[in-house]
Structure 1
Amino acid sequence: MAVPDSTRRDLEAGIETDFRRQMSYGDYLCLDQLLSAQRPQSDPPQHDELLFIVQHQTSELWLKLMVHELRSARALLAADDLAPALKRLARVKHIQHTLTDQWSVLATMTPSEYAEIRPFLATSSGFQSAQYREVEFLLGNKDADMVPVHAHDPAARDVLARLLGEPSLYDEFLRHLARTGYAVPADLVERDWSVKHRAHDGLVDLFATVYAAPEEHWGVYETCEELVDLEDNFQEWRFRHLQVVQRTIGHKSGTGGSSGVAFLRRALDLTFFPELYEVRTRIGG
């Protein structure tokens, strides 16, 4: 009697194997285009350049999904549909964790290895990522000076120009609160959306009321904590980026002309939702 081969898995009878007239996995995902988009520039070729390209291309894919989810969450808040908006934000948090974890892969590139490919990056820099800027604008870090950076790409420039003039995710949350009976200061409900949100004492007062009795304001309370999670995750991503840059190039200037580590360190002082941190000083005080 033959002994079954436990190392073999035969194809089941119903599994599709002929894709001459049917859609395959590769067709659906356009893998011929996706996997041919890694085009190293180094001459002679450097082994680690593929890592650098894949790291940043996959980051851009995750940023694309993050923009998709944040836009949807913003639209749901504008429609006063809080529950699915929170579901979108939960997904964004997982995307953020993935983006932060990716830095550990890039950190395997030593300073010597990066020095071999850096000349071929020319003036390209992650600072020029239009999708990263979309995320910042959606979260509320508006800066009109960032729009002309993308003048070479009219489509990206126009997207950012529109986002600059629209309410951010936080703005729509505040407008949702105002429509549902919370005492949001009037100058936060209608204002010049192209200007970055500034901390407002009246809003701290509102959130202090929410945090004093969370069971009475559970949806708002939960949303506040979700937003704090988003900001914490964003800061963790920024800090991990700074660390990887510092261990790779020290205090050299960046390829795009920035001061490098010093420039990245200043970003750690930026905040999207200042009142949600300030209210913590009030709690129990």
Structure 2
Amino acid sequence: MTCPYHAPHKGPEAAPTGAEAIVHEEGAQLDFSSSMTYGDYLHLDEVLSAQHPLSPDHNEMLFIVQHQTSELWMKLMLHELRAAVSHLAQDELPPAFKMLARVSKIMEQLVHAWDVLATMTPPEYSAIRPYLAQSSGFQSWQYRCIEFSLGNKNAAMLKPHAHRPDLLAPVEQAWRAPSLYDEALRLLARRGIAVPRSHTERDWTQPYTASPEVEAAWLQVYRNPQAHWDLYQLGEELTDLEDAFRLWRFRHLTTVQRVIGVKRGTGGTGGVSYLRKMLDVVLFPEIWELRTDL
């Protein structure tokens, strides 16, 4: 038993070292007196209070956060895609390349996001499905704008947004505008490469139709990349983007099949059968076809 009158002497408190010292030093310099905080700048109160599960099931939070974060990534993707299309239309390729590369990286994030949703088992999804009613990812107006911006035009896809004129407007604008690939072909034509007028001056609301003449135009670029280096790079940026988009579609299909099997989707779509058909959609067909003829 230690005598209270003879307690061991305590020397001066040891100064923090290593990582502790760095934290101590940085903390001493912090000043949070500014009127704007981290949470203010990011509007975290609104973002983090936007999750409202309807079911008593624990797993619904995963379902909500998965789709909300995907919509945020799609917002950034649209921001980059629209700017890239604008730069292509103005013959400004370097910034367009940067933006397209970023879009491909965003697609990679969306591909890996399916890994998280795939942790939801069929019984767990079945517990929340009745609470979803007819809400469906098919109704994502941002995703529809992305599809239209990449050239997969279909007037029937305007219908899911008809009940919201404010959302229908940007979807219809994307439907009527030249797609990324349309602007790429117009750029080739401006560079003196023969692209048929049927593919540079057309009704942009119509689905794209592959053309042997367009493939010949891309072949001219790919057979002499040194002479057409930036156009060659454009072709590869488009290839990267579609490659990433195909992976996203495939992971969408396999995740849905893993969680709900072949049941119909909540919005009435065929579910897996519909997603399997979407795997056959080719956005930039001639860029893929030319590889056989090189």
TM-score (norm 1): 0.95
What are the residue-to-residue correspondences of 1:1-285 with 2, within 5 Å? 2-6=13-17, 8=20, 9-10=23-24, 11-19=26-34, 22-42=35-55, 45-283=56-294
Tell me the residue number matched to 2:8. Answer: none
Structure 1 counterpart of 2:82, which letter? R
CA–CA separation in structure 2 for the residues paired with 1:72 and 1:265: 31
Task: State the Cα RMSD in Å.
Answer: 1.2
Asked if structure 1 preserves the Cα contact closer than 8 Å seen for 2:145 and 2:175, the reply is no
> What secondary structure is seen at the aligned counterpart in 2 of 1:147?
helix
1:14 positional shift = 3.2
CA–CA separation in structure 2 for the residues paired with 1:255 and 1:136: 21
Alignment size in residue pairs: 279
CA–CA separation in structure 1 for the residues paired with 2:27 and 2:251: 46
Asked if structure 1 preserves the Cα contact closer than 8 Å seen for 2:138 and 2:160, the reply is no
CA–CA separation in structure 1 for the residues paired with 2:58 and 2:127: 9
> What secondary structure is seen at the aligned counterpart in 2 of 1:170?
helix
Structure 2 counterpart of 1:110, which letter? T
> What secondary structure is seen at the aligned counterpart in 2 of 1:251?
coil
Unaligned runs of 5+ in 2: 1-11
CA–CA separation in structure 1 for the residues paired with 2:218 and 2:172: 31
1:178 positional shift = 1.1
1:177 positional shift = 1.4
For each residue in 1:152-191, what CA deviation from the matched residue of structure 2 results, as whole angstroms up to 9, or x when unmatched?
1111111111111110011111111111211111111111
CA–CA separation in structure 1 for the residues paired with 2:159 and 2:168: 7
Choose 129-138 or 174-183, whichever is displaced more.
174-183
1:34 positional shift = 0.6
> What secondary structure is seen at the aligned counterpart in 1 of 2:31?
coil
CA–CA separation in structure 2 for the residues paired with 1:24 and 1:108: 35
> What secondary structure is seen at the aligned counterpart in 2 of 1:216?
coil
For each residue in 1:11-48, what CA deviation from the matched residue of structure 2 results, as whole angstroms up to 9, or x when unmatched?
544312235xx100111111111111001111xx1100
Choose 66-75 or 6-15, whichever is displaced more.
6-15
CA–CA separation in structure 1 for the residues paired with 2:13 and 2:46: 46
Structure 1 counterpart of 2:62, which letter? L
> What secondary structure is seen at the aligned counterpart in 1 of 2:213?
helix
> What secondary structure is seen at the aligned counterpart in 2 of 1:214?
coil
Between the two proteins, what is the percent identity of the paired residues? 53
Unaligned runs of 5+ in 1: none
> What secondary structure is seen at the aligned counterpart in 1 of 2:238?
helix
CA–CA separation in structure 1 for the residues paired with 2:159 and 2:118: 32
1:76 positional shift = 0.2
Structure 2 counterpart of 1:17, which letter? F
